Amino acid sequence: AKLAAKLNPAYSVLDKQTPYKDATTYNNFYEFGTDKSEPAMYAGTLKTRPWTIAIEGEVRKPMTLDIDALLKLAPMEERVYRLRCVEGWSMVIPWIGYSLSELIKKVEPTGNAKYVEFVSLADKKQMPGVGSRVLQWPYTEGLRIDEANHPLALLAFGMYGEVLPNQNGAPVRMVLPWKYGFKSAKSIVKIRFVKDQPRTSWNLSAANEYGFYSNVNPDVDHPRWSQASERRIGEDGFLSRKRKTLMFNGYNDVAPLYAGMDLKKFY
């Protein structure tokens, strides 16, 4: 189904967009299987309506919002973001949504809200991959509150002019273009504001490989491969070198969030 939105050029890159087919058939969404072709094959069973997000924890106005209320919460923007996967490939995707900060304003976090935790749906009946021992379920991700409030942090409902396909995290997900893709939780059912840094699924699974911050950083290697370069899906083929990965995936606006931090230590 179509999802109307106005392009926000300030938050859009001019890179060539990844073909829709590639962006919707090559996915990491382990709730539907670990193979990148599996989400497109098995995500049909996901029921995206009715859908609610429970917002709780250190907020003055905890609330449960259903998907229709969320869709109307703020004006929809289209933003063309680069997406860099921790595995060394990248895409360019036109997302539709609004800054998470719009939602945060509504619930009025207290002074104790230092972090935000995102919890994805984990329903074995709809998601055949839940129950595999690859990760702890439900899939959990987190941000520091200032990261969550950064205007680039997008609460997304659509892509390529349409509502999100199930395999891309329908009906609502995060998109954090300066972090590796796995930081952007899909099919979110709960957002919690908390005092302490939340444990995240990939960090629990392999702490030395996946840090809490996981900012795109060409100078900090993954233990098993270099992060200095990447393959742009659909573009970088056999006859070209891989392209250089940019610090914060090219989103230098976020640099002040990490001023004074040793990013090798806080990877």
Residue 182 Cβ, how far from another protein at the closest point, in Å?
11
Nearer to another protein, 60 or 224 (CB): 224
Residue 200: how many CA atoms within 13 Å on its side-chain side? 24
For another protein, which stretch binds (CB under 8 A), given 19-27, 166-174, 177-185, 212-220? 19-27
Of residues 85, 102, 95, 87, the one with CA closest to residue 13: 95
**In this chain, which of 60, 241, 244, 265 binds another protein, going by CB under 8 A?**
241
- Burial group, residue 174, by CB count within 10 angstroms (0-12, 13-18, 19+): buried
Nearer to another protein, 38 or 58 (CB): 38
Residue 233 Cβ, how far from another protein at the closest point, in Å?
6
Pairing type for strands 6-7 and 77-84 reads parallel
* Residue 224 lies near another protein (rule: CB under 8 A): yes
Place of tokens 């003055």: 60
Nearer to another protein, 47 or 243 (CB): 243
CB 170 within 8 A of CB 187: yes
Nearer to another protein, 123 or 235 (CB): 235
Tell me 210's DSSP state. S
Cα 10 to Cα 246: distance, rounded to the nearest angstrom = 19
* Residue 244 lies near another protein (rule: CB under 8 A): no
* Residue 101 lies near another protein (rule: CB under 8 A): no
Interacting residue ranges for another protein, rule: CB under 8 A: 21-22, 25-26, 34, 36, 89, 133-135, 205-206, 209, 221, 223-226, 231, 233-234, 237-238, 240-242
